[in-house]
Amino acid sequence: MTHAPSRWAASGPERVWQQRVSEYLPEAARHASVLDAAEHARLAAFRTTADRDRYLVAHVAVRRLLGERLGVAPSAVRLTRQPCTECGGPHGRPAVAGATGVHFSLSHAGDLVAVAVAVVPVGVDVEEVPSPQAVAQTAPTALHPGSWPNWPRSPWPPARRRSRAAGRARRRT
Ligand SMILES: [Zn+2]
Is this prediction's pTM over 0.85? no
How far is the centre of ligand 1, averaged over its atoms, from the C-alpha of 82 (Å)? 10
How far is the centre of ligand 1, averaged over its atoms, from the C-alpha of 3 (Å)? 35
Residue 164: pLDDT over 50 = no
Tell me the helices (H) and strands (E) count for the chain, helix number first.
5, 7
132 falls in which pLDDT band (50, 70, 90)?
A: low
* Averaged pLDDT, 52-69: 94
Side-chain-facing half-sphere of 106: CA atoms under 13 Å: 18
How far is the centre of ligand 1, averaged over its atoms, from the C-alpha of 80 (Å)? 15
Domain 15-123 has CATH 2.40.50.140: no
The sign of the dihedral angle between the CA atoms of 95, 96, 101, 107 is negative
Amino acid identity, position 125: D
What span, in angstroms and rounded, lies between the C-alpha atoms of 17 and 113?
8
Q: Note the pLDDT of residue 94.
A: 84
How far is the centre of ligand 1, averaged over its atoms, from the C-alpha of 83 (Å)? 8
How far is the centre of ligand 1, averaged over its atoms, from the C-alpha of 132 (Å)? 40
What mean pLDDT value characterizes the chain?
75
What span, in angstroms and rounded, lies between the C-alpha atoms of 135 and 91?
39
How far is the centre of ligand 1, averaged over its atoms, from the C-alpha of 116 (Å)? 23
